[in-house]
Amino acid sequence: MTVSRDPDRGALSGLRVVDASTLFAGPMAAQHLGDMGAHVTKVEHPTKPDPARTHGAAADGVNLWWKTLGRNKRTVTADLSGPGGREVFLALAERADVVIENFRPGTLERWDLGYAELAARNPRLVLARVSGFGQVGPYRTRPGFGTLAEAMSGFAAMTGEPEGPPTLPPFGLADGIASLATAYAVMVALSAREHTGRGQVVDTAIIEPVLAMLGPQITRWDRLGTVQPRTGNRSVNNAPRNTYRTRDGRWVAVSTSAQSIAERVVRLVGRPDLIEEPWFATGAERARHADELDEAVGSWIAEHTREEVVAAFERAEAAVAPVYDGADIVDDPQFQALGTVHRIEDPDLGPTLMQGPLFRLSEHDGVIGFTGRAHGADTDEVLAELGFSAARVAELREEGQV
């Protein structure tokens, strides 16, 4: 099946991206660009496909994560370490605006595919390099994964119960944040290209974007000599802030980041007297009295169903949200109004639900043209577009280069 994108759809229509990355920050950055209309070509090794194809749940042997991560990407194979694969990659880079890769630093250079070689063919190319620790420094050649970034950034140290161990997230948090940072960096580099006429190298170290999300922990250490402790679901900046179990055995989350919201919550649960306490006037002081506030809020919530709690908080204009799982998300009217969930026709699975693009533009909708494709499904088509003859493609295949 030949796949194509409507050239008039998407804010990034006409932008050509080569995704030579794996697991998960690089591929997800390419996915974000593809969702907004970029033409993405996924390059994988002929015999070692992106391991993301086997991560997570599968339905009838069909990986579900790849259907989202690989969407809007035509897939080709090339062994970049060999002369034939190098030939293919240079041809792709010559016509591309962006190349995204996440090999260990120095690997592309070892294959004579570093930025000097790529820019010689295409001076306007933006090369986005995603790695665990960045392109410089003593750790640059270490294997780098999101788990290590979640540890080194301070995330694990401040996550978990006070008396418990540091806690890692059960999903690719650091990779996900790095993917957004990389997509943003690519757009910055492309904007700069409009002024200079030249591309440049983007260096994303996965340890850095997640660090930026964790607040001023570096500044706090510098000025106060303290670090943020583990507080479980509680916040050091405000209270009440926790998850609470309802009468019907479900859960809700409450936040009181604004003083007015905190006052509305304690009035709602029948404890307006707490507002008169001197410590109630600031979020930090309320956080020091979290036990008392959790008891007041939690005991009231425990006497009501989740539906009753959400309705009462909404009437009081207080901040609450039900704790959802996947089934709840699909049925929620707010997600439906936003168009968050898309039903996409997939050749393996049939009509399949997945999250759509991360935001909406008033003049350019994001587009999911097709779901993740099979390994190397578009090799012949893409190489023909690059000018490779059928005979040359057959030679490359015979040599194991594609």
Q: Is the dihedral of CA 24, 377, 5, 365 positive or negative?
A: negative
Task: Say if residue 197 is exposed, middle or buried (CB neighbours under 10 Å; 0-12, 13-18, 19+).
Answer: exposed
Strand partners, 43: 76
Separation of alpha carbons 54 and 60, rounded Å: 13
Q: For the beta carbon of residue 7, count every other beta carbon within 10 angstroms.
A: 10
In degrees and rounded to multiples of 5, residue 115 shows phi and psi of -65, -30
Closest residue by Cα to residue 18 from 78, 59, 61: 78
Q: For the beta carbon of residue 236, count every other beta carbon within 10 angstroms.
A: 16
Separation of alpha carbons 354 and 340, rounded Å: 8
Residue 348 is among the residues annotated as catalytic for this protein: no
The amino acid that residue 302 corresponds to is A
Extract the runs of DSSP E, i.e. beta strands, from 5-53: 16-20, 39-44
Catalytic residue among 175, 248, 325, 380: 175
Q: For the beta carbon of residue 162, count every other beta carbon within 10 angstroms.
A: 9
Q: Which residues are catalytic, by number?
A: 175
